[in-house]
Structure 1
């Protein structure tokens, strides 16, 4: 559903527990729909998150759909870009229409510093529509970064499933195909797994 600019703020989170579920494609499709309706859209992503495809300045889905993006290190850069101010979190009044942007897309939102929650709150409070995509859980099964709080605050949640690489059932988890020594490793050498196959693989790793 499309809303008239300035009517209300809105947060949609496109999430999945598994990679390869179509999160980024769904995000880009949403943003294209807003652009076709005449909205001005700005897409952001964490710097380095697109290295799996060796792209710069573009968000690319696993099936090749792409869109220009602004790669940033910290969530506060979103506000600095939109408002051209150094400390927009502490302003009493701002003019969201100054840049003409009314829709903000955020890919791989789970990789951002937890300050992303404050930034999203600020945008929605000032009548921006925010559409963001991210993994809800790490490959260990633990919640991924700021995702629990973002999901709790979302007006709309679109939760996707992939296809299990082993049995073909709906996949809700991810495991790396390599030895993982830290929680977050960006790349595409992962398997999408259903809960049963994920648990079996985890048990095999533990036994070995």
Structure 2
């Protein structure tokens, strides 16, 4: 997390500073930066994104969250799009096809959170531009496909980011730390939206072990 979170409030001890609204204090310290949260499925990336966004909201910064229209699993009864964790922590989100569709709308906000960043092909250009224009950008994304190939527009952000957090999940087979995602259904498409019915987190050893299907179990 950025080191500027605590000092603006903690050091405002003079009489003039103590009368200054929190947002005004933030304005003196706020700088653009890029925070990258990566890892396999079920590693808590969206949970960490929501946690950071709520912390910035508590600091009275203007925050917005966006997600790809490709992932339409989570909407409420009013068709409001949501960022949702697998244990159903939720935060309202703006659905987009491309990040550039926002135009300059993001300039009204201090912090922009992007969930499932691997679905945005213009991720690199938007994040770099927004951070250069003074925005805090937080991206939660898969860093690799089910074949352990890189999502290149996500990995290209690593040398541009102030912080990179690589999370691990729990291997669905043996319980070890899981760094990879294995697909359970027959599809070669790189982008295939799904949950535990389609994917499982696995460690290195279990990833390289041939997947045994239910039908094969019955035969054996």
Offset of 1:184 from its aligned partner? 1.3
**Which residue of the partner structure matches residue 154 of structure 1?**
161
- 1:90-169 alignment runs, 5 A limit: 96=107, 99=108, 101-113=109-121, 115-169=122-176
Residues 10-69 of structure 1, C-alpha deviations (whole Å, 9 max, x = no match): 1000000x2000000000000000000100101011113142x45541111111110011
- 1:23-42 alignment runs, 5 A limit: 23-42=45-64
2:71 aligned to which of 34, 49, 59: 49
With normalisation by structure 1, the TM-score equals 0.83
CA distance in 2, matches of 1:104, 1:133: 11
Higher relative contact order (CA 8 A, sep 6+): 1
**Which residue of the partner structure matches residue 87 of structure 1?**
none
Does 2:9 align with 1:9? no
CA distance in 1, matches of 2:75, 2:207: 29
Q: Cα 1:42–1:54, aligned 2, differ >3 Å: closer, same or farther?
A: closer
**Which residue of the partner structure matches residue 83 of structure 2?**
59
Residues 57-108 of structure 1, C-alpha deviations (whole Å, 9 max, x = no match): 11111111100110001110233422xxxxxxxxxxxxx4xx2x10000001
CA distance in 2, matches of 1:180, 1:144: 17
> Contact 2:123/2:154 (CA < 8 Å) preserved in 1?
no
**Which residue of the partner structure matches residue 190 of structure 1?**
199
With normalisation by structure 2, the TM-score equals 0.79
> Contact 1:44/1:78 (CA < 8 Å) preserved in 2?
no
**Which residue of the partner structure matches residue 88 of structure 1?**
none
SS class of match (1:44): strand
SS class of match (1:187): coil
> Contact 1:5/1:102 (CA < 8 Å) preserved in 2?
no
CA distance in 2, matches of 1:130, 1:9: 8
SS class of match (1:67): strand
> Contact 1:50/1:60 (CA < 8 Å) preserved in 2?
no
Larger Rg: 2
Where do 5+ consecutive residues of structure 1 fail to align?
Answer: 83-95
